[in-house]
Chain A
Amino acid sequence: MSGGGARRLRMRALTVVVVASNALGNAALDWGVKGLPGGIRLAPWALARAVFNPWVGLGIGLLALWMLTRMTLLSWADLSFVLPVTSAGYVATALVGRYVFGERVAGVRWAGTALIAAGVALVSTTRERTGSAVGETD
């Protein structure tokens, strides 16, 4: 495999990790917050207690992984590339909302999901780095 091909494969694999950790992290947070008695309040003590809920904790862990992998991706590619491509997370979140939490997803939302998927596909055909590229290898 050429250097450029390996780089692109590496980029796609990391993008999948970014998208999955974001969607699953949001879902875990949603599950945890909805299970808190009386919901969540912005008072420091209430927030600290929320963090010790196992699902909220799992969500925070997954979102920490999301942050580190996304920072790595931002060191490899433009923000204007990373943003649309990682928007696949919204599609994943809609699917989790529908099939894991049983939320009703209307036809118009499936149309939105299709548009996002088309946008992601379009942007993923562009060159990922156009600005100054310190340390770029290909």
Chain B
Amino acid sequence: MTRWVLVGVVAGATIAADLLQTMEMRRHGEVRLGGGWVREAAAVLRRPYIVAAVGFMAVSFFAFLKLLSIAELSFAVPATAGSVVVETMLAKVVLKERVEARRWAGACLVACGVALLAL
């Protein structure tokens, strides 16, 4: 039971962090690889949505650490990954991405695969 509560905390916090990160990175524009990459990426870390996203990631991280201490890695990772379809829906609704049929199919295949991994 405890491990499924932890799975819920990890998944919820991960979804919030991903949405906030994507919003901020879209606002920032493309990060360029090269000499100043680490500096540019680190500068983005100070933006408010990224700060909030890091907070959610910290919650997710410590809940995941606790989960690892009571469950196998091969349970913990796939069980917390079932959020991919929910996140795809939110990407469409909140971020206004155009999610075409192949992308839905791919996300569903990934979710089904993850469910099988968790068995």
CA–CA, A68 and B21, complex, Å: 11
- Chain A residues whose C-beta falls within 8 Å of the C-beta of B64 in the assembled complex: 29
Interface of B is mostly: helix
CA–CA, A54 and B77, complex, Å: 21
Interface of A is mostly: helix
Choice from A33, A71, A81, A109 contacting B44 with Cβ under 8 Å: A71
Query: How many residues of chain A get a CB closer than 8 Å to chain B's CBs?
Result: 65
CA–CA, A94 and B61, complex, Å: 19
CA–CA, A33 and B76, complex, Å: 13
CA–CA, A130 and B98, complex, Å: 6
Do the beta carbons of A112 and B114 come within 8 Å of each other? yes
Query: How many residues of chain B get a CB closer than 8 Å to chain A's CBs?
Result: 60
CA–CA, A117 and B105, complex, Å: 12
A-B contact count (CB 8 A): 196
- Chain A residues whose C-beta falls within 8 Å of the C-beta of B96 in the assembled complex: 131
Does residue B51 face the partner (Cβ distance < 8 Å to A)?
no
- Chain B residues whose C-beta falls within 8 Å of the C-beta of A117 in the assembled complex: 113
CA–CA, A101 and B31, complex, Å: 36
- Chain B residues whose C-beta falls within 8 Å of the C-beta of A40 in the assembled complex: 65-66, 68-69
Task: Convert B79-117 into 0s and 1s, putting 1 for each residue whose CB lies closer than 8 angstroms to a CB of A.
Answer: 001001001100110011111101101111110111111
Does residue B1 face the partner (Cβ distance < 8 Å to A)?
no
In the complex, what residue of chain B is closest to A103 when comparing beta carbons? B74
Do the beta carbons of B116 and A111 come within 8 Å of each other? yes
CA–CA, A108 and B74, complex, Å: 13
Do the beta carbons of A84 and B84 come within 8 Å of each other? yes
Report the minimum CB–CB distance from B93 to chain A (whole Å).
11
- Chain B residues whose C-beta falls within 8 Å of the C-beta of A105 in the assembled complex: 74
In the complex, what residue of chain B is closest to A100 when comparing beta carbons? B73
- Chain A residues whose C-beta falls within 8 Å of the C-beta of B37 in the assembled complex: 72
Q: A101 and B65 in contact (CB under 8 A), knowing A72-B41, A119-B110, A134-B27?
A: no
Footprint of A on B, CB under 8 Å? 18-19, 21-22, 25-31, 33, 37-38, 41-42, 44, 50, 57, 61-62, 64-66, 68-70, 72-74, 77-78, 81, 84, 87-88, 91-92, 95-100, 102-103, 105-110, 112-119
Please, could you name 27 A-B residue pairs with CB atoms under 8 Å apart, sorted by A? Answer: A29-B65, A30-B73, A67-B57, A71-B50, A74-B22, A76-B30, A79-B97, A90-B77, A90-B117, A103-B73, A112-B116, A115-B112, A118-B113, A119-B105, A120-B106, A122-B103, A122-B105, A123-B110, A125-B102, A126-B100, A130-B100, A131-B26, A132-B26, A133-B30, A134-B26, A134-B28, A135-B29
